[in-house]
Amino acid sequence: MKIKFRKLLILMLAASGVLGAQAEETKPNVLFIALDDLNDWIGCLGGHPQTITPNMDRLAASGVLFTNAHCVAPACNASRSAIFTGQSPHRSGIYSNAQVMRDVLPDATLIPKHFTDHGYWSTGSGKMLHYVTDARSWNDYFPPKETEMPLPKTLYPEKRPVSLPVGGPWQYVETDWGPLETSDKDFGGDYSVTEFVGNYLKKEHDKPFFLACGIYRPHEPWFVPAKYFEKFPLDSIQLPPGYRKDDLDDVPALGKRFAHNRYFDHIQKEKQWKQAVQGYLASIYFADTMLGRVLDALEEGPNKNNTIVVLWSDHGWHLGEKQHWQKYTAWRACTRVPLMVKVPEKLSSKLPKGTTPGTVCEQPVSLLSLYPTLTELCGLPTPDACDAPSIVPQLLDANTSSDPVPTFLEDAASLGVSGKGWRYISYRDGGEELYNIDQDPHEWTNLAKHPEHQAKLEQLKAFVPKTFAPKPKVKVKDLPSMRWKKTSDPTKILKPNADGSNVRLVFVNQSPVNAKIHEVSAEMELTEKALVKAESEVEIKGRPGSVWAITKESGELMGYFKLGDRMAKGVIPKNAAE
């Protein structure tokens, strides 16, 4: 009698749709993969003819490849903060690497926390935010989330630089490259990240998971095991296809200022251009191999058919295009990024057939859409704070049109707008650029002043926000610290090598005496610049490489600081006057 009643109950529940609702409550897993500083130099995007990326290519072939995807900002912090909060820089105020996400958005709910709040287990490894983990947003992490250091130990040369001599105090210490005689495992870093992620994918889990995999390469420095360099013999290296010597001739003044940052000239002077390209290609190949470890673990494990896979890079990278090195520009070499999405069939009610393998979408999309896309695919509510639309319509039909998407520069007023076949750049001083990408993929010819293209320019210009959130000042506590050198002997002060534009300097006096701030000249003469009272602070400007002597009001030397390559604070310790 009990058995018959149970069968009857099951039939009744099935008829009423209750069992169907329960089945729909089984949520998809998410594998969220980020690569750092990767432009379009992957096989399926055709950015460089020598690149080796079989694993990125196979992921793209298994799902949807977005060939017109763009970063939210061409800087790690601004880009990643936007992705993980869903908030655009022009609304959040986060535009640069120097800012601290939690100072500006203390209450923002990041993607992993949102998933945890809706029944998921959120975990991962590697760099997903800007050199922090944001422990509150994860159930666990490797390295442990409490350390707030997302990068596992990585092998680097004992003596550096290896390849690129330091050109001045303006130079980023990690701009260097070279092969290492080591194994992938002993190299650590991304190998350790993918080991953690791969092991997690090989197991069954009680809860659906949001699993992050932050592959650090090809971020600088470009040191990876030697076998990855061997695939790119130096005498065979081809320079970037997008390079043209006169490429800045038709660029407005502020665009030229964004372009010129000394690195490219210095690299050419040191005859290291081909070596650098080799290092970037080797680092991409290494990153791709690490990705292959993760994809293999997924394919071979129990989560293959119930896991959504998303791969993206936070922004691109210049290797001489527009006479520029690094990032921070609104040109396509920097804004265009890999984006791949794979959804198995029968996993998401929004995409019951899953993604069609080998689909290519040419519509403009922004990484800002990742948050709402994942919530929609997983049947979760989308936070009101999300500023961009989901790209599920483009996953359903790659021909579904989408609006042009913006990429915001760090001056809180300049930006690029990427449409289908066209790109527009607007600078805060009124300068403009317009490019026909279908005919000019490397953006060599600025059409902004051509009368016949004004209608297209105005069409894209309409997507420039009317207002920009102000850029909050970095809190003093979050400024990097200059090293305090205690001395009463003026001959012990280091000689300055000041070079570059002025940056923000804050001197924090923790001592019980008033202190004078003196700039040290190349002739080792002291010029008083400010007085900082006891237990207070003062803000001034200084150039990278400058040296600052600290004296008592009486003139007695207490010590000094030397400024590095960016804004900083100098903390005068409590015992400075002793």
Query: Which residues are annotated as catalytic?
Result: 76, 130
Asked whether the beta carbons of 258 and 330 are under 8 A apart, the reply is: yes
Can you say whether residue 262 is alpha, beta or left, with left for phi > 0 and alpha for psi between -120 and 50 degrees?
left
Distance CA 305, CA 298 (A): 9
Asked whether the beta carbons of 280 and 319 are under 8 A apart, the reply is: yes
Q: Phi and psi of 483, rounded to 5°? A: -80, 130
Question: With DSSP H G I counted as helix, E B as strand and the rest as coil, what are the percentages for the chain, rounded to 5?
Answer: 30, 20, 50
Task: Report the alpha-carbon angle 354-356-360, nearest 5.
Answer: 130
In sequence order, the 6+-apart residues with CB closer than 8 A to the CB of 259 are 248, 251, 322, 323, 324, 329
Asked whether the beta carbons of 118 and 405 are under 8 A apart, the reply is: no
Asked whether the beta carbons of 423 and 434 are under 8 A apart, the reply is: yes
Asked whether the beta carbons of 303 and 201 are under 8 A apart, the reply is: yes
Asked whether the beta carbons of 401 and 364 are under 8 A apart, the reply is: no
SS in 3 state form for 125-165? EECCCCCCCCHHHCCCCECCHHHCCCCCCECCCCCCCCCCC
Q: Phi and psi of 516, rounded to 5°? A: -100, 140
Q: Phi and psi of 96, rounded to 5°? A: -135, 170
Of 367, 368, 369, give the one whose Cα is nearest residue 339.
Answer: 367
Q: Phi and psi of 424, rounded to 5°? A: -130, 140
Distance CA 52, CA 68 (A): 21
Q: Starting from the edge strand earliest in sequence, which strands make up the sheet with 121-126, in order?
A: 121-126, 209-215, 29-35, 307-313, 339-342, 64-66, 359-361
Asked whether the beta carbons of 348 and 308 are under 8 A apart, the reply is: yes
Place of tokens 């003196």: 518
Asked whether the beta carbons of 408 and 386 are under 8 A apart, the reply is: no
Locate 99 and state its tokens: 């800012």
CA distances from residue 142 to 122, 136, 218, 530, 556 in whole angstroms, order as listed = 12, 14, 20, 45, 49
Locate 30 and state its tokens: 């998410």
CA distances from residue 482 to 566, 573, 577 in whole angstroms, order as listed = 10, 12, 18
Place of tokens 């490797």: 142
Find the Cα–Cα–Cα–Cα dihedral 72, 74, 76, 79, rounded to 10°.
-10
